[in-house]
Structure 1
Amino acid sequence: MKSTFTAIFSLLILVFVSNAQAADPQSFLKLYSSEAKETPSAQKGGKFFSEKHGNEWSCSSCHGMPPVGEGKHASTNKVIAPLAPAFNPERFTDEAKVDKWFKRNCNDVLGRSCTAAEKSDVLAYLISLKK
């Protein structure tokens, strides 16, 4: 009986932890726009995505413009799956990955972390891209 209870309890914990990390693009958009305290703009996001910001690369340097097909890393040539969620349903569904890649890519493009407003604008742009 004790081992059955332990197994069920462990399974419930696992489900809770898994669900806590799972998300969708809209939940990230809501989070970033709330942190930014402004309405996200797909137009501003598209402009931000395509332009350079002082460093060598723009977001589109690796992800393409529009980012609906495979991209290629500008220096390693590693293939990158489509970034727009409509073309790659796995995008913006894992909190740890979203945090990791925004941190890394913002640093490559901007030389700093992205602001919540920049994240919300870019995500609004990516969500606006439809098949």
Structure 2
Amino acid sequence: MQMRVLILVLSLTCCGAAHAITPQDLLKTYESKSGKASVSKGEQFFNTKHGKEWSCASCHENPPNHETKHIVTGKVIKPLSPNADPTRFTDEAKADKWFKRNCNDVLGRECTAQEKADVLVWLLSVK
């Protein structure tokens, strides 16, 4: 029985570590699907309303290096910048889930890989 528990713990530890990435790894993934990321385009994208009521900054504020609140729900949002919250952009599935949801709110569509790369490279520059 103890051996089974040990094997289970080791397999979960191993598999969990395999999914951990760095924000830089995620940036490389997005750039491989698009092109070189632009800090200035990322900042502009983050702060611009794209034909809808909100921009990314509507909830995450600028700079996104501190806790904020969602403008509708009032839910606390942790800092978006990986420099302020080292857990940000360390799980590709979670990052893709939130990009999909938030891009739909801001753009009315999913973000492109280029838009994700631009925003992420800018967020990496925010201290």
Instruction: State TM-score, norm by structure 1.
Output: 0.89
* Identity in percent: 55
Q: Which residue is equivalent to 1:23?
A: 21
Kindly state the Cα deviation for residue 106 of structure 1 after the two structures are TM-superposed.
Answer: 0.6
Instruction: Spell out, residue by residue over 1:38-85, the C-alpha distance to the aligned partner (whole angstroms, 9 max, x if none).
Output: 110111000000001111100000000111112211111212111001
Count of residue correspondences: 127
Give the Cα separation in 2 of the matches to 1:8 and 1:51.
Answer: 51
State the Cα distance separating 1:13 from its structure 2 match: 1.9
Runs (5+) with no aligned partner, structure 2: none
1:126 maps to what in 2? 123
Residue 93 in structure 1 maps to residue 121 in structure 2: no
Aligned to 1:79: 76
CA distance in 2, matches of 1:21, 1:56: 35
> Aligned-pair distance for 1:20?
2.4
Which string of whole-angstrom CA distances, capped at 9 and with x for unpartnered residues, describes residues 79-123 of structure 1?
Answer: 211100111111111223212111110110011110000000000
> Which amino acid is 2:119 matched to?
V
Q: Distance in 2 between matches of 1:47 and 1:41?
A: 10
**Mapping 1:1-131, distance limit 5 Å:** 3=1, 5-36=3-34, 38-130=35-127
TM-aligned CA deviation for residue 5 of structure 1:
4.8
Contact 1:46 1:122 in 2 (8 A): yes
Question: Helix, strand or coil for the counterpart of 2:33?
Answer: helix
Secondary structure of the residue that 2:84 maps to in structure 1? coil
Q: Contact 1:71 / 1:79 at 8 angstroms: preserved in 2?
A: yes
Task: Letter of the 2:44 partner, please give it.
Answer: K
Q: Which runs of 5+ in 1 are unaligned?
A: none
Q: CA RMSD in A?
A: 1.4
